[in-house]
Amino acid sequence: MERLRHVRTGTLVFYYVFTVLASAKCLLREGTVYNLLLAAAAFALPAVPFLLYRLCRLRPVYLLEIVFDWFVLAAVPFASLFGGYDLVPYWDKILHFLSGFLFAVLGTAVYFTKKPGHALERADAFNASLYTWMFAMMSAVLWEIWEYLVSFSGADPQQVAATGVGDTMQDMIVCTAGGLITALSCWKYLRRQGENRHTGLMMRLFEAYYNENIGRS
């Protein structure tokens, strides 16, 4: 534990030295508002684990912090500020591939954090694996939506103007919105019991299926 804490400290030192140099290089080349925001985000992101520890009352996990720092370093200071996307072929795809692993791990942690008793049991294999997969895919969808929204600021990280992906992104956004509305309806439905239960159209469909196929089994 102590050794990992020291490694994390060393990682942070390297991270911020590199970020200072990459930010200077980027801003001297093109001092836009977007690049200023990128630099600010690069300096702020390593604090994310500390905020999560405080908000969720968690104990530090230095190994995860180290992995997080290196991923952020590769994704923001190196790729966006230093110009890594131009230096390394398919760097964008490599980062998205690696992000799938990281968000899947986060999804697994969330699943067992919320599971009553938190026990790791064989019966969880399918549900936990599916939840993990869905969590990773959700992160990808939300990131692409974010990049699409950023394109309206003048920057075009998704190359919307060049590729015409607007229709695809709009389809993803409205589908995600529909899923979110249904999820909120489900949450209200499960939170309340008896006559006060809030159904709504989607939960009525679920309830009809449940009564016919699940409740009778």
User: For all residues of the chain together, what is the average pLDDT?
Assistant: 87
The letter for the amino acid at 57 is R
**Is a pLDDT exceeding 60 seen at residue 217?**
no
Q: List, for residues 43-94, the tens digit of each pLDDT value.
A: 999 999 999 889 988 888 899 899 999 999 999 999 999 999 999 999 988 9
Which residue bears the tokens 């695809």? 168
Q: Please report which confidence band the pLDDT of residue 194 belongs to, taking 50, 70 and 90 as the band edges.
A: low
Among 38-52, 112-126, 164-178, the range scoring the smallest mean pLDDT is 164-178
**Is a pLDDT exceeding 80 seen at residue 209?**
no
My answer on whether 174 and 153 are in the same domain is no
**Range of the structural domain that residue 148 is part of:** 89-162
CB 108 within 8 A of CB 128: yes
My answer on whether 147 and 172 are in the same domain is no
Q: What is the pTM of this model?
A: 0.78
Q: Which one has a higher pLDDT value, 187 or 9?
A: 9
My answer on whether 99 and 158 are in the same domain is yes
CA–CA distance, 179 with 164 (Å, rounded to integer): 25
User: Residue 24 has which token pair?
Assistant: 């200077």
CB 65 within 8 A of CB 49: yes
CB 168 within 8 A of CB 147: no
The number of C-alpha atoms within 13 Å of 84 and in the hemisphere containing its C-beta is 20
165 contacts: CB under 8 Å, gap ≥ 6: 148, 158, 159
My answer on whether 102 and 78 are in the same domain is no
For every residue of 44-70, DSSP letters joined together read HGGGHHHHHHHHHT----HHHHHHHHH
My answer on whether 20 and 33 are in the same domain is yes
> Final residue of a domain: which of 33, 55, 88?
88
Which residue bears the tokens 């990773």? 136
My answer on whether 204 and 121 are in the same domain is no
Which residue bears the tokens 């920057």? 155
Q: Please report which confidence band the pLDDT of residue 19 belongs to, taking 50, 70 and 90 as the band edges.
A: very high
| Number of domains the chain contains | 3
CA–CA distance, 217 with 208 (Å, rounded to integer): 14
My answer on whether 99 and 67 are in the same domain is no
Q: Which one has a higher pLDDT value, 63 or 1?
A: 63
My answer on whether 60 and 11 are in the same domain is yes
**Is a pLDDT exceeding 60 seen at residue 95?**
yes
User: Residue 116 has which token pair?
Assistant: 């009553």
Query: Which has the closest alpha carbon to 42: 64, 62, 16?
Result: 16
| Region 149-159 average pLDDT | 79
- pLDDT for the residue numbered 171: 76
**Is a pLDDT exceeding 90 seen at residue 155?**
no
Among 53-67, 139-153, 185-199, the range scoring the smallest mean pLDDT is 185-199
| Region 109-118 average pLDDT | 89
**Is a pLDDT exceeding 70 seen at residue 196?**
no
